[in-house]
């Protein structure tokens, strides 16, 4: 279809499964997942897609709908949203040393986003969405990389929201009410403004 390109991604499905059967594969095929490779690892089903779409978001939404039509539920898009310097280097096609310079605010670029959580085993972790935005703003990555990072994080958040609401509805609603009443959510600054502030 005009304007569409192929997007590759993996969906991790909910629940535990002992084995992958022909009946399960038939269900995927009949639901429209004929462009997918289904596998199982440690009881978790994974579905690798090469799905055409006008955007990554469109391809992901269509794939999730097809998986649900096959009678399975998607747990999350199987990609890490928290990344180390080494993973940032891999995704942006740069060296770890160069990423280290960015983190140290060297090299003439705007301030690098702060880590998302404390150092773990000697390594800081960053939110990939924030790093992708920073890279785009500094002409180090295409806008599509930032948009895809946003889409993946948003869809995973929605999938987690729906799962938690279904598993513990009473506790979930109580927490949502408590958090909504705690304070109004302020508008978020850009990556550079957050670091400079």
Using CA atoms, how far apart are residues 121 and 25, in angstroms rounded to an integer?
Answer: 40
Q: Note the pLDDT tens digit of each residue in 35-92.
A: 999 999 999 999 999 999 999 999 999 999 999 999 999 999 999 899 999 999 999 9
Q: Residue ranges of the alpha helices (H) in the chain?
A: 22-30, 56-69, 85-92, 96-103, 128-137, 143-167, 169-182, 191-196
Using CA atoms, how far apart are residues 15 and 182, in angstroms rounded to an integer?
Answer: 34
List the one residue out of 128, 136, 126, 4 whose CA is nearest residue 57.
4
pLDDT, residue 24, reads 96
pTM score, two decimals?
A: 0.80
Q: Note the pLDDT tens digit of each residue in 139-192.
A: 999 999 999 999 999 999 999 998 888 888 888 888 888 888 655 455 555 545
Using CA atoms, how far apart are residues 178 and 191, in angstroms rounded to an integer?
Answer: 28
Domains recognised in the chain with CATH numbers: 5-78 (3.30.70), 80-197 (no CATH)
């Amino acid at each position: 279809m005009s304007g569409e390109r192929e997007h590759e991604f993996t969906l991790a499905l909910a629940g535990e499964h002992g084995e992958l059967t022909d009946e399960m594969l038939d269900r995927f095929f009949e639901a429209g997942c004929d462009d997918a490779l289904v596998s199982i690892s440690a009881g978790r089903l994974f579905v690798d897609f090469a799905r055409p779409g006008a955007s990554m978001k469109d391809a992901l939404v269509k794939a999730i709908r097809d998986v649900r039509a096959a009678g399975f539920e998607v747990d999350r898009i199987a990609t890490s949203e928290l990344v180390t310097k080494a993973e940032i280097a891999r995704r942006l096609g740069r060296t770890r040393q160069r990423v280290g310079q960015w983190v140290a605010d060297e090299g003439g670029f705007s301030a690098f986003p702060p880590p998302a959580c404390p150092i773990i085993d000697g390594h800081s972790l960053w939110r990939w969405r924030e790093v992708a935005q920073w890279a785009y703003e500094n002409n180090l990555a295409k806008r599509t990389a930032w948009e895809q990072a946003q889409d993946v994080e948003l869809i995973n958040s929605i999938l987690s929201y729906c799962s938690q609401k279904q598993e513990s509805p009473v506790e979930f609603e109580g927490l949502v009410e408590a958090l909504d009443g705690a304070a109004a959510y302020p508008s978020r600054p850009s990556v550079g403004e957050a670091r400079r502030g």
